[in-house]
Structure 1
Amino acid sequence: MKTINHLQTKSSSRYNDFDPEQDGNKNTKFADLIIDGNSLYQILKKYDMVPSLGWGSNKYQRQMIDYFLLRQTHPYLYYRYPILVCPWCGDEECGFISVFIERKEDVIIWQDFKLEPDNKPINIGPFYFKWVDYERVINDTFGSAGIQ
C-alpha cells in the first residue's frame, strides 16, 4: 500500500507584501495546494506559474474543479490537467505544468508532472489522496481567492 498524502489548500499570492518583485507585476491570488505541509507553488516557483485553482472567473474555476474531480476530461490533454498556469491570465497557451490524475477506488493519484508545451518531465510525485478528503479540499477552492 502506498503512503497516503495529506492535501489541503491555503489562500496565497504570488508575492508577499515586501517583495520588490511585485512592482509592475500581477500579484495573483490563488488557492495554494499544500501536500504534507509543503506548498506546491513554492516547490515549483522557479517556473513562475501559479496553481490553477481558486482564482479567475466563475466559469474557469468551476471547470478547473470539474477537471480535478474527474467530472470531465481536458479537451486535448485527456486525463492530464493544468495544475499550474500563467499568473497573468491562466491561459494554457502561455505554458503550464500538467499532471496526470487518476482514481483507483477511493484513492486519487497525481503523477507524471510535466512542463508544457515542451512535455518535459518534472521530478515530483506521485501523490496519493483519499477521495473523500480530496473531493472536499478541491471543492473548497472555489472562490477562495475571489472571482474575477
Structure 2
Amino acid sequence: MSAAYATFGLAPAMRAGGVLAGGAYQAHRDFVDFVVDGRSLLFRLSDLDAVSPLAADVPPAIFTAQVRALLLEAGAPLPGGRYVVYGCPECADLGCGAVTAVIERDGDDYVWRDFAWQTEERADLNLNGYHGMGPFRFRGEEYRAALRSLLDGTDPRTARRRVLLIGARVALLAKLAAALRTIGIGADIAHDAERVPPEELRGYGAVAFGRAAGPETRAAVRRAFARAGVDVAHVDGLAPIVPLLVAQIEHALDPTPAEGRRLTRLVTADGEAGVEVTSPCRVVLTAHRLDRLHRTHTRALFDGVLEPGHHRIPLDTRAVKGESFVVARTTGSVLVEAMTR
C-alpha cells in the first residue's frame, strides 16, 4: 500500500433530472461528492450515473448515519469492511449496482482501497474491481473535519431546491410545475412576487420567467427578492416547451462549482454544436423546435461518449430549422442553447 497521502474534501454536486425524449422522467438529486486530490472521485469512474450516500433528500437520521459510517463510527454495511461510495440515483438499491470500497483505519489515517462495482452482497475484485484506482490514504484530521462539517450545520439539505414560476400562461406553468415536482424540484406559480412574504422568497433557489412576462414584471420580482435579502438564479424561458424549460431550471439550480463540472460549454451555430467536457462521459444532445404553427417537435441528435476536450458535432439540419433549441446532458449537468444562424 502506498504511503503517499491524498487530500480529501467534499463538494456540492447534482445528478440532473429532466423530462427526456419520449416523455420519460429522470429524478433530480442533490448530493455531496467526494473530492480526492482536488478532483471529483466520481469523475474517475468514467461515465457513471450515480450519487454518493450523502444525498440531500434522505431523512436526517439516515444522512447522519451515513456520515458516521464513513467516519467508521459504525460497522460496515457490507461484508469485508465494504462501504457504498456511489449508488443508483433512482432507488439506491444494491441490485442496480454500486461502487463500493474497503474503508479502514491505519493509525490516525483513513484508507480507501479495493474499489469495485458490486451488485450482490459480496464483491468480486477479479471480475469487477476498479484496477489501478487507489488506494487512497487520507490524513485523519483532514478527513474527520470534512465529514463532521456536515453534522455541524453545513448540511446539503439546506440547499434551495424550489423555483418560483412567473408568467401569464397558467396552463403551461401548471404543466411545468408538475414536471418539476415529478423529478423532485418544488415549484410554485405566481403572477408576481409583491405579495409573497420575504421568508417564503428565501426558500427559492431560482425564479423562472415566461416569455410573456414583461420588463416591469421582471424588475418588480427582482426587487422583491432583493428586499428579502436573497440571491437567486434568474431563468428567462426560451420557449413554451416543458422539457426545455425544465432543462433551463436544472442548470440554474446546479450547485456544482464551475471547476467541478463535466460539461462546461455548449455552442450552437451553423448546423453544428460545440461541446466541451472535462472528463470522459456520455453526452446526449436533443433538439426542441417550434414550427410555424407553434407545434413542438423533439428529436435526438447525438448520444455518445466523448473524451476530454472540445468537440464539434454536426446536427441534423431538419431538426434545428426555424426556432429551435439544443439541450446537452451528461449524468451530472445540463446546458441549453438557442440555435443561431
Deviations 1:33-76 (Å, cap 9, x if unpaired)? 11111101222252311111243111221221121111111344
Query: Residue 139 in 1 paired to residue 148 in 2?
Result: yes
Q: Which residue of 1 aligns with 2:318?
A: none
RMSD, aligned CA: 2.3
The alignment status of 1:30 with 2:41, answered yes or no, reads no
Q: CA deviation at 1:26?
A: 1.1
Residue aligned with 2:47, SS: helix
Alignment of 1:1-148 (within 5 A): 2-15=3-16, 22-23=18-19, 24-55=25-56, 56-117=58-119, 119=123, 120-123=128-131, 124-142=133-151, 144-146=155-157
Distance 2:77 2:40 in 1: 28
For residues 45 and 60 of structure 1, what CA distance do their matches in structure 2 show? 28
- Give the Å deviation of 1:129: 0.5
Unaligned runs of 5+ in 1: 16-20
User: 1:102 deviation in Å?
Assistant: 0.8
Does the aligned pair in 2 maintain the 1:54–1:144 contact within 8 Å?
no
Provide the C-alpha distance between the structure 1 equivalents of 2:49 and 2:134, rounded to a whole number of angstroms.
19
What is the TM-score when the length of structure 1 is the normalising length?
Answer: 0.84
- The alignment of Structure 1 onto Structure 2 pairs a total of residues equal to 143
Which position in structure 2 is the counterpart of 1:18? none
Q: Does structure 2 retain, via aligned residues, the 8 Å contact 1:110–1:128?
A: yes
Contact 2:42 2:48 in 1 (8 A): no
Q: Give the conservation status (yes or no) of the 8 Å contact 1:54–1:141.
A: no
Relative to structure 1, the CA distance from residue 53 to residue 3 in structure 2 (aligned partners, 3 Å threshold; closer, same or farther) is same
CA distance in 2, matches of 1:144, 1:41: 20
Q: Higher relative contact order by CA 8 Å / sep ≥ 6: 1 or 2?
A: 1
> Would the aligned equivalents of 1:114 and 1:121 in 2 still touch at CA under 8 Å?
yes
Any runs of at least 4 consecutive aligned residues in structure 1 with deviations exceeding 3 A, and if so which? Answer: 141-144
Amino acid across the alignment from 1:72: A
Query: TM-score under structure 2 normalisation?
Result: 0.39
1:78-119 deviation per Cα after TM superposition (whole angstroms, max 9, x unaligned): 511001011123233432111101111111100000111263
Tell which structure's C-alpha radius of gyration is larger. Answer: 2
Identity of aligned residues (%): 24
Unaligned runs of 5+ in 2: 20-24, 159-183, 185-341
The 1:43/1:128 distance shift into structure 2, 3 A limit, reads same
